Structure 1
């Protein structure tokens, strides 16, 4: 009867490759993961008829369906979606108050007409901004400021798009909302992982943020050595920015206030977003008018933020179904792959480093992709790796490839906006994601490998 588990495991692995093909073709990911959740649940239920599935031991037939299609989205909504909505609200505040655009303009003024220097400064500022902001709306709002500036300085479109998307990726390493999103996937596998906090991860996140930004800038500058830079439009951008109204300097700290609130003052993340939003609005003198007008403005900002992340929310709810289905699929992956999971900290760190490219195209090392099943297998490993070590590894192989990937919504938008060919972008993005993954996985070993014992 063991053959049944092997056959089902092979079918599930083949479906992995089918999902990767689906992602590369650019089809709708929300529908794709919903279909995968159904497919894996059905396969697991069929397998359970022949060989008892340990993951289904305490569930009835209806209980399995409830766990995947009801409890998955329900628990995910409780644990992460509220953070996403308030993070999106904060992003709208930064845009409406003019803080984000002011920081970009000041950065350009500091860089002057030196393309490489200005590109580096803009990437640093973009990275800092996206330690708090999230969603395709804020990305596009910053992109339509930054990308034309870089293009006007004479940078080739492919390098401009790569540098901008790479700077967002580096900021995501320290992004609080993304931390909560990935942590929720560990919690879905076992509630004991809920005790792992952003504060425990913070030092590693900041180090990886710096590493990622440095690698992106090195690759962009090397690419520039092979391209001709034109300075024809440099003056236009600078002069245009000078006519804009700037947010007061005291308000600029709003960008990192949520992180400071959580790390230094141990504030709940939602309260951190609300207090930071209030500080930004007050210092920018946006709370003007009657009480009714102010309430209307705040409601509008929250509604706009919700619209910004609506596609992401739909995708994440379907992904949560897939995550729960992966828990029932894990025994079949364990049958095929369990013997290949390393039990040594250094070996698994090296394996993640070498296999980082499997995080591209929503692959098996990407938590916001097919990685949920692999996560379940690794968590059930006899090595019993602590989350303080495993989370950084999975964060690296998710963040570095995912936010440079052509399946990422805002990267796909960027291709249409800049008219860059995907192959020109991928020549830089895939090697960069791999290098960042290798460096950060080794850093994870040196920081947390000693916890494995």
Structure 2
């Protein structure tokens, strides 16, 4: 092994731990990944001057900078951010029409004054809602309905927060916007991976969604056995009377985008637009003059953009880090390449065991430090197909990240419920690990044979 590559690789690995420390301290992740992009690009440029870096073979100094700081955000914006914005627009429609809140209220009526039953029904409803909704705005809008209901039923705050966040994590496994977001990282490493579609992933996503909600509910119920429910009565909601409920015919709008993509092969943006029009039409929100309707639609889109603005900034900086990781990959390959398994079973088991490394934006988290590990795994001699690799990385990203204290809406939840991070992590980390372990094994059972 070349000593220069080893030294640079070790420095980069140490920066992994620095980034984890940065995340745990709660510092701004957008700035953190921008700094990491600069640091890794600088190290790779220095290393290239001493020992040629194969990833920089056809690029000069300005070409490298352009690839990281211009092409990264530019390509990411073209392929992913439009989906994020239209997904947020659709989320705003679900909120403004009252469809999301109506589903929650009807779920509470079904559960009545039975806390465990109501918690189960609300978690399932939340999971379904977040197969299409995305962003901190929609999360908070649903949270301020669901969390007070669960608290009013006597559930401890730590169990309430965990169950709600776990339900979101469950829905994200089948969320089409998140699929496109993660897939873009594979495409950045190899353009051939653009042929992998949501339809190919869908069955796995639904299975993981079901496994996740079951595990979350089991853990929540075990926690309830240890934390006695203090009281129970039929939950009251202040979010509107029955007259303000969205009509039953409109409720299907929540899953229409997924149905459109899977059953009719709609492009996702068209799916969001058709589903949004259906929601507005069935909820009679298209009344009034043409000008007033246009103003309403413009406001919904603007509000949706505000909802995801922090996430967009973060994703653009992350795209710089992703491209920097491509130039960093040869150094990781020098250090770690010989340790990457060539057996589909072994790598699936390794991902299952190491799922906790996805917490705190760690090395198995694609929306974290996992971009460099992704490039190393992709370039390994095993040449695993994306149909197998994508589910593995999706699991070690989604399961830890959406229960993680570095997730923006989880951090918001601590302030809203007054739950301590220690009490929350006693449930979140074991649950993320259990879900990750099971789903990685499922990935091998479903797709391991494709790896040859």
**SS of the residue 1:113 aligns to:** coil
Tell me how far apart the structure 1 counterparts of residues 215 and 121 of structure 2 sit (CA, whole Å).
14
Instruction: Work out the CA distance in 2 between the residues paired with 1:378 and 1:243.
Output: 54
**Is this contact kept in 1: 2:149–2:235, CA < 8 A?**
no
Q: What secondary structure does 1:231 align onto?
A: coil
Tell me, in whole angstroms, the C-alpha distance in 2 between the residues paired with 1:241 and 1:93: 17
1:210 aligns with 2:219: no
Match of 1:401 in 2: 400
Instruction: Tell me what 1:85 maps to.
Output: 85
Contact kept in structure 1, 2:108 and 2:235, CA below 8 Å = no
The TM-score, its normalising length taken from structure 1, stands at 0.99
**Residue of structure 1 in register with 2:329 after alignment:** 330
In 2 relative to 1, CA 306–238 (structure 1 residues): closer, same or farther, beyond 3 Å?
closer
Alpha-carbon displacement from aligned partner over 1:96-126 (angstroms, at most 9, x marks no partner): 0000000000000000000000000000000
2:386 maps to 387
Task: Report how many residues are paired.
Answer: 452
Q: Distance in 1 between matches of 2:217 and 2:138?
A: 22
Instruction: Give the equivalent residue in structure 2 for 1:255.
Output: 254
Specify whether residues 228 and 190 from structure 1 end up closer, same or farther in structure 2 by C-alpha distance, changes over 3 A only: same
Residue equivalent to 1:316: 315
Check conservation: 2:135, 2:311, Cα contact below 8 A. Answer: yes
Paired residues for 1:13-412 under 5 Å: 13-231=13-231, 234-237=233-236, 242-243=241-242, 245-412=244-411
CA displacement 1:311-362 (0-9 Å, x = unmatched): 0000000000000000000000000000000000000000000000000000
Distance 1:2 1:239, change over 3 A: closer
CA contact (8 A) 2:112 2:235 kept: no
Separation (CA, whole Å) in 2 of partners of 1:281 and 1:338 = 53
Distance in 2, Cα, partners of 1:240 & 1:126: 17
1:379 touches 1:385 (CA, 8 Å); kept in 2?
Answer: yes
1:434 matches 2:428: no
Tell me the distance in 1 between the aligned counterparts of 2:177 and 2:237. Answer: 33
Q: Secondary structure at the match of 1:367?
A: coil
**Offset, 1:231:** 2.5
Distance 2:262 2:157 in 1: 37
Inter-CA distance 253–240: structure 2 relative to 1 (3 Å threshold): closer
- Which whole-Å deviations, capped at 9, do the CAs of 1:51-83 have from their partners, x for residues lacking one? 100000011110000000000000000010000
**In 1, Cα distance between equivalents of 2:57 and 2:98:** 55
2:113–2:235 Cα contact (<8 Å) kept: no
TM-score, normalisation: structure 2:
0.99
Q: Residue by residue, what CA displacement relative to the aligned partner does 1:209-242 show, whole Å, maximum 9, x if unpaired?
A: 000000000000000001121235x335168765
